Amino acid sequence: MAEIVVRLGGQAGDGIASIGESIARSFSRMGLHVFGVNAYQSVIRGGHVWFGARASDARVYSQGDGTDVLVALDRQTFDVHSPGIRPGGTVVYDAEKFSIADNEVPVGVQALNVPALKIARKYTSASVLQNAPGLGAAAYLAGIPLEVLHKQLSDSFGRKAGDVANWNLGASRDGYEFASQHASVSEAAPKARGPAKLLMTGNQAIALGAAAAGCKFLAQYPMTPASSVMHWMAAHSRDVGVVVKQAEDELAAINMAIGASFGGVRSMTATSGGGFALMVEALGMAGMTETPVVVVEAQRSGPSTGLPTKTEQGDLNMMLGAGQGEFPRAILAPSNPAEAYRLTIRAFELAEAWQVPVLVASDFHLSESLMTVDRDEIDLNVTIPSLETVQPDGHDYKRYQLTTTGVSPRALPGQPGLQFVAGSDEHDEKGHLISDIHSGLPVFITMRQEMMDKRMRKLHGLVSAADPPILEGPSASELTFVAWGSTVGAVRDAMRLLAAQGRATNLLWFPTVYPLDGDRVRAMIEKATRTLLVEANYSGQFGRLLRAEAGVHLSERFLKYDGEPFSPHAIVARALEVIRHGG
Amino acid sequence: MADSSATRPGVTTGPALPVVGKTEIRPTWCPGCGDFGVVAAVEGALKRLGIPSHNVVIISGIGCSSNLPHFLSSYGFHGIHGRVLPVAEGIRWANHGLTVIGTGGDGDGFGIGAGHFVHAMRRNVDLTYVTMDNQIYGLTTGQASPTSVMGQKTKSTPDGVIENPIDPIALALASGATYVARGFSGDVKQLTDLVAGGIQHHGFSLVDVFSPCVTYNKLNTFDFFRQRVYKLESAGHDPTNLPAAFQRALEWGDKIPIGLFYRTERPTYEDLEEVLAPGPLVHQPTGLAGKDKLLDEFV
Ligand SMILES: Cc1ncc(C[n+]2csc(CCOP(=O)(O)OP(=O)(O)O)c2C)c(N)n1
Ligand code: SF4
């Protein structure tokens, strides 16, 4: 397996995300597997930002470790990222901007002084071009053919072509040629292989999956890292036929989505933890009125406003407990964009089949990172059943009929003869309130209990309908990783590193984190030689869930809550510790 | 623009489908509660317009008044406290062939739901919002509401309210509602006209109703209003004149106006949302089958 990591860094406003995406997309067009991370701070101009593009001829599941090519547009980038450059690597900088003393360059690393400002001045006096020579140099060092880079750049400028596009093509060519004269292509660079792959973020995959699943309405209030779900959908609303509503707040967003669902269309809302906290009461209303709704919860570091642009899996407890009283729900947790596409479709299917709210748990690392997806992993042909599940038959229609599955026939407004009231108060089979003059009377005490039982019965169905936990890797292993969500990616990479050291490990991960078949999970975990729970929060929230649902206690844990994603090497180190010393 | 269901796109129409009437559920309101007059007016307005009951959705929040949807034979959504309007907007955007009516109390709409109130009006969503404004919290047994007047003694303000009340009419005018009316439960005939006018109006209609709470508000009683209300239409008010409407809205004291304050035509949110142009969302095709071109941008 050949792999290369290119990192580009500078200040917010330097266009780092766009040159980073150019590198990432050039790789994916070469048929390589790519993982791209966009790291930024909660400021619009001036903070330190960087983009990491990792490319390989084998699947890569995380940002990886180390750097082979570093493009430093400012001194801070050099200071922060140069210690991670691997031997044989190169740092690209411009001595006209800042200098690097010889003894500051890590051993085995080449410092390549590319006259970026000078090149840029050839084309324009404006400052817009200063990142283009570095982009060209990085492309050369990473083994990207100039035609591939330039085709990508032209495509991204699209119809906006003109002076700026031409300057960028010129300045990146000059950077490319300068590098080819003064350095050689990195030995780490993988060779082009096969047809272009799709490259998308988790949020793009979620939006695409929603539209493919028949979502017709998305209401959202901006909040990082969920906003780009709305951005993609809004940019394509006419093509995909989805009404996108930026609501006045998250209270409105989820209530609008529930209203639209009641009105007869599949609907969704997306937010991060703070916004989800505001949606909690309405989530229960969806549960009580048995109105399907899909809620994307893209977590970021908390508590409170926390670190808006950093990752965490700290909202699981809230997702599990959101809402007064008890009602059925499901929580799905994709680990990468391909799964985000597939599981968002599952979320719509489950929400509708079981008439419950379904949460899609994402996080900053999944929502905003770019990852390659094979064309055949995105099947746009989704079977979408009609929402009307009942026709008038002359009998009294009971919207909340007691059934063995807990699911009752659902009518839509506009259907003649089936009028009913969906109530957030406890109600009887016809939807009539039993909360006021009836509550406490014997027959209604029974009805209340039957209604609770009916709704909660859906959990049994949901457990068998939702995706079960998956055991991945060799069945005989020294250690079983237990993980969920985006963390699964770094674990997959760590397992490969361990295998290269002759250590067989496997992974138990959970596309559905709730509800769980506790007995089945316990049986799977009891087969493990040892376990290591890996999750991005302080208290091991998923571990606690497994303890409650499956009665297993995972005592060896690798928890991380510094806002940064897991690195495969750190997981390897922790796993070796557990294998050698205990667990 | 007439808003009868027969002219609306995409709804099931047909002769002799029943219009809205009463259900088997009897209102549980205290005898004499103003809300009886409101449910009678909503029923009367829908009957008069002949809209089939299956094409009507009545949404409410939580409060005594919010029980209203259970008493009429249309579709209903009895949601949570303060969220009438976002639910109603979602329903309307899912199927703009439906007649959508929001109902609820002053606490529900102007207290906990105040944010949604302002935004629904600036959007000019085509729905009718009937607020049963009793200037008190009924269901929670008599605390001050956002429309309780200065000095009013309630359970939560034993020494009297020390905040200025919200003026729903002025707020609606300022927020861009395109049909702004005030009714009185003691005059069901006029109230029926106002609600019917609101339903027929193409855009956001507010009908704020003096609907006395006979149990907890001993100040703003039926008698209080009977002695003070006068009808705008008899006073020569021109409902197309916004400044005049503002001036009338500010009147409070010995003489209090009821009737239509303001009406204007402006494109609705549904008119301007291009995705809705082909017809109600609920009847549009779903999914992305055959739209593989969408994937090109990811290459
Ligand atoms: C989130 C939330 N907070 C508080 C309540 C309690 N509550 C129920 S009705 C109500 C206010 C009732 O007043 P209003 O909306 O004016 O309606 P009325 O009963 O007077 O018709 C309150 C505070 C609730 N149900 N939900
Ligand atoms: S408490 Fe007041 S508002 Fe509630 S039903 Fe009785 S009179 Fe009506």
List the single best residue of A410, A421, A428, A433 to mutate versus B (max B Cβ within 10 A). Answer: A421
Considering only CB atoms, A243 lies closest to which of B79, B93, B298, namely B93
CA of A214 to the centre of ligand 1 (A): 36
Query: Is residue B33 lining ligand 2, measured as CB closer than 6 Å?
Result: yes
Residues B147-161 have a mean pLDDT of 98
Three-state DSSP state, A112: strand
Structural domain contains residue B6: no
Q: Quick check: B12 pLDDT over 60? A: no
Which residues on chain A are in Cβ contact (under 8 Å) with B115? 248-249, 251-252
Identify the segments of chain A with pLDDT beneath 50: none
CA of B109 to the centre of ligand 1 (A): 10
Short-list A29, A30, A31, A34, CA closest to A6: A34
Structural domain contains residue B179: yes
How far off is chain A from B257, nearest CA to CA, in Å?
A: 32
What distances in angstroms separate CA A510 from CA A22, A191, A334, A483, one per listed residue? 33, 34, 8, 7
Q: What CATH code is carried by the domain that includes residue B145?
A: 3.40.50.970
The 10 Å Cβ neighbour count of residue A484 is 28
Q: According to the model, what pLDDT value does residue A128 have?
A: 78
Let me know: does B211 contact B65? Beta carbons within 8 Å.
Answer: yes
pLDDT band at B61 (very low <50, low <70, confident <90, very high): very high
Considering only CB atoms, A384 lies closest to which of B94, B116, B286, namely B286
What distances in angstroms separate CA A55 from CA A188, A412, B170, one per listed residue? 10, 49, 61
Structural domain contains residue B189: yes
Structural domain contains residue B24: no
Considering only CB atoms, A380 lies closest to which of B119, B289, B298, namely B289
Which residues on chain A are in Cβ contact (under 8 Å) with B275? 237-238, 241-243
State the Cα–Cα distance between residues B172 and B205, nearest whole angstrom. Answer: 9
State the Cα–Cα distance between residues A396 and A417, nearest whole angstrom. Answer: 9
List the single best residue of B87, B141, B269, B274 to mutate versus A (max A Cβ within 10 A). Answer: B87
pLDDT band at B15 (very low <50, low <70, confident <90, very high): low
A245 has a chain B CB within 8 A of its CB: yes
Q: Answer yes or no: do A412 and B282 touch at CB < 8 A.
A: yes
Q: Answer yes or no: do A412 and B59 touch at CB < 8 A.
A: no
Which atom, in ligand 2's list, is nearest to the CA of B132?
3
B249 has a chain A CB within 8 A of its CB: no
Which residues on chain A are in Cβ contact (under 8 Å) with B90? 217, 219, 255-263, 267
State the Cα–Cα distance between residues A117 and A140, nearest whole angstrom. Answer: 19
Q: According to the model, what pLDDT value does residue A241 have?
A: 98
- Give contacts of A 398-437 with B, CB under 8 A: 412-425, 432-433, 436-437
What are the helix (H) ranges across A428-486? Answer: 442-465
Query: Is residue B137 lining ligand 2, measured as CB closer than 6 Å?
Result: no
State the Cα–Cα distance between residues B129 and B132, nearest whole angstrom. Answer: 10
Q: According to the model, what pLDDT value does residue A271 have?
A: 98
Which atom, in ligand 1's list, is nearest to the CA of B111?
15
Exposed/middle/buried for B82, CB within 10 Å: 0-12, 13-18, 19+?
buried
Considering only CB atoms, B87 lies closest to which of A259, A266, A378, namely A259
Of the listed ligands, the closest to the CA of B220 is 2
How far off is chain B from A552, nearest CA to CA, in Å?
A: 38
User: Domains of chain A by range and CATH?
Assistant: 3-182 (3.40.920.10), 200-377 (3.40.50.970), 388-459 (no CATH), 470-580 (3.40.50.920)
Q: Answer yes or no: do B70 and A266 touch at CB < 8 A.
A: no
State the Cα–Cα distance between residues A312 and A297, nearest whole angstrom. Answer: 12
Q: According to the model, what pLDDT value does residue A498 have?
A: 98
Exposed/middle/buried for B17, CB within 10 Å: 0-12, 13-18, 19+?
middle
Q: Among B85, B140, B215, which residue has the most ligand 1 atoms within 8 Å of its CB, making it the best to mutate?
A: B140
From start to end of A468-511, where are the E strands? 470-472, 479-483, 505-509
Q: According to the model, what pLDDT value does residue A126 have?
A: 76
Short-list A428, A568, A424, CA closest to A501: A568
Contacts of residue B115, Cβ cutoff 8 Å, sequence gap at least 6 = A248, A249, A251, A252
Give the number of A-B residue pairs with CB atoms closer than 8 Å. 214
B75 has a chain A CB within 8 A of its CB: yes
Let me know: does B49 contact B136? Beta carbons within 8 Å.
Answer: no
Q: According to the model, what pLDDT value does residue B4 have?
A: 38
Query: Tokens 């859906």 belong to which residue?
Result: A458
Structural domain contains residue B10: no
Let me know: does A268 contact A235? Beta carbons within 8 Å.
Answer: no
Q: According to the model, what pLDDT value does residue A161 have?
A: 67
- Give contacts of A 176-235 with B, CB under 8 A: 196-200, 204, 208, 211-214, 216-217, 219
CA of B122 to the centre of ligand 2 (A): 31
The residue whose C-alpha atom lies closest to atom 4 belonging to ligand 1 is B81
What is residue A10's DSSP assignment?
A: E
How far off is chain A from B255, nearest CA to CA, in Å?
A: 36
Token readout for B223 is: 């008698």
B64 has a chain A CB within 8 A of its CB: no
State the Cα–Cα distance between residues B201 and B93, nearest whole angstrom. Answer: 17
The residue whose C-alpha atom lies closest to atom 25 belonging to ligand 1 is B81
Token readout for A385 is: 């059943």
Three-state DSSP state, A88: strand
How far off is chain B from A457, nearest CA to CA, in Å?
A: 23
Query: Is residue B239 lining ligand 2, measured as CB closer than 6 Å?
Result: no
Query: Is residue B106 lining ligand 1, measured as CB closer than 6 Å?
Result: yes
B55 has a chain A CB within 8 A of its CB: yes
How far off is chain A from B219, nearest CA to CA, in Å?
A: 27
Q: Quick check: B11 pLDDT over 60? A: no
Dump the DSSP string for A377-440.
G---------S------SSPP-TT---SSS------TT-TT---EEESS-B-TTS-B-SSTTTT
Q: 3-state DSSP: chain A helix, strand, coil percent, rounded to 5? A: 40, 20, 40
What residues does A451 pair with on adjacent strands? Answer: none
What are the helix (H) ranges across B99-212? Answer: 106, 114-123, 168-175, 188-200
pLDDT band at B10 (very low <50, low <70, confident <90, very high): very low
Quote the percentage of chain B above a pLDDT of 70: 95
Q: According to the model, what pLDDT value does residue A443 have?
A: 87
Let me know: does A176 contact A146? Beta carbons within 8 Å.
Answer: yes
Exposed/middle/buried for A11, CB within 10 Å: 0-12, 13-18, 19+?
middle
Would you call the peptide bond into A515 cis, given omega within 30 degrees of 0 as the criterion?
yes
Contacts of residue B125, Cβ cutoff 8 Å, sequence gap at least 6 = B88, B89, B92, B203, B204, B268, B269, B270
Structural domain contains residue B5: no
How far off is chain A from B87, nearest CA to CA, in Å?
A: 4
Structural domain contains residue B48: yes
The residue whose C-alpha atom lies closest to atom 1 belonging to ligand 2 is B138
Residues B173-190 have a mean pLDDT of 98
Structural domain contains residue B223: yes
Query: Is residue B133 lining ligand 1, measured as CB closer than 6 Å?
Result: no
Q: According to the model, what pLDDT value does residue A389 have?
A: 84
Complex ipTM value: 0.96
The residue whose C-alpha atom lies closest to atom 5 belonging to ligand 2 is B29
Supply the mean pLDDT for chain B.
95
CA of A522 to the centre of ligand 2 (A): 54
Question: What is the radius of gyration, based on Cα positions, of chain B?
Answer: 20
Query: Is residue B35 lining ligand 2, measured as CB closer than 6 Å?
Result: yes
Which residues on chain A are in Cβ contact (under 8 Å) with B62? 424
Number of domains in chain B: 1
What distances in angstroms separate CA B97 from CA A3, A13, B46, B90, B104, one per listed residue? 57, 47, 15, 13, 23
Q: Answer yes or no: do A414 and B98 touch at CB < 8 A.
A: yes
Q: Answer yes or no: do A414 and B282 touch at CB < 8 A.
A: yes
Token readout for A509 is: 């991960």
Quote the percentage of chain B above a pLDDT of 90: 94
- Give contacts of A 24-63 with B, CB under 8 A: 25, 28-29
Of the listed ligands, the closest to the CA of B68 is 1
pLDDT band at B267 (very low <50, low <70, confident <90, very high): very high
Query: Is residue B134 lining ligand 2, measured as CB closer than 6 Å?
Result: yes
Q: According to the model, what pLDDT value does residue B16 have?
A: 62
Residues B190-209 have a mean pLDDT of 98
The tens digit of pLDDT for each residue in B245-254 reads 999 999 999 9
The more confident residue out of B14 and A115 is A115
Exposed/middle/buried for A138, CB within 10 Å: 0-12, 13-18, 19+?
buried
The tens digit of pLDDT for each residue in A276-314 reads 999 999 999 999 999 999 999 999 999 999 999 999 999
Question: What is the radius of gyration, based on Cα positions, of chain A?
Answer: 26
List the single best residue of A238, A242, A255 to mutate versus B (max B Cβ within 10 A). Answer: A255
Structural domain containing residue B73: 35-296
How far off is chain B from A550, nearest CA to CA, in Å?
A: 35
A249 has a chain B CB within 8 A of its CB: yes
